[in-house]
A = this chain, B = another copy of it.
């Protein structure tokens, strides 16, 4: 069986949210599965010298308009959060804490967090909120809170971010089909074509 597609994203990224709604179904069409890998774009931007898109003059306004337009197109829940970019550390740690035990349950956490932030506009930047939202997927919030403080979890998130940089990941979403890189929600069509044809 072919190896899973890798889906890198940052919880602060609206385009990562849109991709999260589509990537598993897209892969399944081609008999493939997806490993989700939340990372910290802030650390990656230190390498690339980029700034968060939404903080750039002209580009920030456009991206807010563009994201809202995509949400209307996809007919998905969307509320631009009052405070962006949100700090993705606690959310990412919740994912990697759960991933070690049950990757599918970790995906459920990620979906709930993305929905809360980009679907409903909630701030998911603090540990208590993350524990509550992760708890809503059927886990014990107290266990989540403890997991967020686990040194192994903190190390895993750092290692995953480092590994992303090594693999050339510099934005969100970023999909790897084997070693073939695709940056951006607007490359999902190309990922689809790549999976269908085996590349060109």
Contact = CB atoms under 8 A, between A and B. Distances in A.
B49 A51 contact: yes
Nearest to A44: B58
This chain: copies in complex: 2
Contacts of A170: 56-59, 62
A56 B50 CA distance: 8
A158 interface: no
Nearest to A70: B190
Contacts of A184: 186
Interface residues of A, number: 31
Contact of A62 (B57, B181, B186): B181
Interface of A: 44, 47-51, 56-59, 61-62, 65-66, 69, 72-73, 165, 168-171, 181, 183-184, 186-187, 189-190, 193, 200
* For the complex of A and B, 10 pairs with smallest distance between CB atoms: A186-B186, A58-B170, A59-B170, A48-B57, A48-B56, A48-B58, A58-B168, A72-B200, A47-B57, A48-B59
Given A47-B57, A62-B181, A73-B193, 16 more contacts: A47-B58, A48-B57, A48-B58, A48-B59, A49-B51, A49-B57, A58-B165, A58-B168, A61-B168, A62-B183, A69-B200, A73-B190, A73-B200, A184-B186, A186-B186, A186-B187
